[in-house]
Amino acid sequence: MVKLFNFPDIISILNASECVANIEKIHIDEIAQRGFYKIRCRLIPAKYNLEVKFIKTREEFIYSYQLFTTTAIVRWDNEPHYPDIKTFPHHYHGIDGNISESDLTGDPQNDLNRVLEEIEKILV
């Protein structure tokens, strides 16, 4: 079963974060059986950005949270392409380029809070 997803809650979480300076809704496409959402946030300091992507269907919820400047720094996602990772399909692309386990679960409200906490640690 796909977790409930409330887009306004996501925007509220981003607005409440002290590291988010600006939120831009890049793409929102909702039809009866599918939703695609892409948000880009300028962070503090301004050279950093966070891109949040969600694809929701009846059967699945795919997410990606990526911290970047002109290139990717870290990313959390659940694309099912690392089946040997213990937390499959959830995984983390680290600063060092290694792919590892992720404690994200596919619950966007909880996951986004965790991601923002980890990003704040990186930005310090």
Q: Where are the beta strands (DSSP E) in 46-124?
A: 49-57, 61-68, 72-77, 91-93, 99-101
Q: pTM, whole model, 2 decimals?
A: 0.93
Integer Cα distance of 26 and 88 in angstroms: 28
Q: What pLDDT digit, counting tens, does each position of 7-53 carry? A: 889 999 999 999 999 999 989 888 878 899 999 999 999 999 999 99
Residue 4: pLDDT band with limits 50, 70, 90: low
Domain ranges of the chain: 7-123
Q: Does the structure show a pLDDT above 80 at 2? A: no
Q: What pLDDT digit, counting tens, does each position of 47-102 carry? A: 999 999 999 988 889 999 999 999 999 999 999 999 999 999 999 999 999 999 99
Helix (H) or strand (E) holding 24: strand 20-31
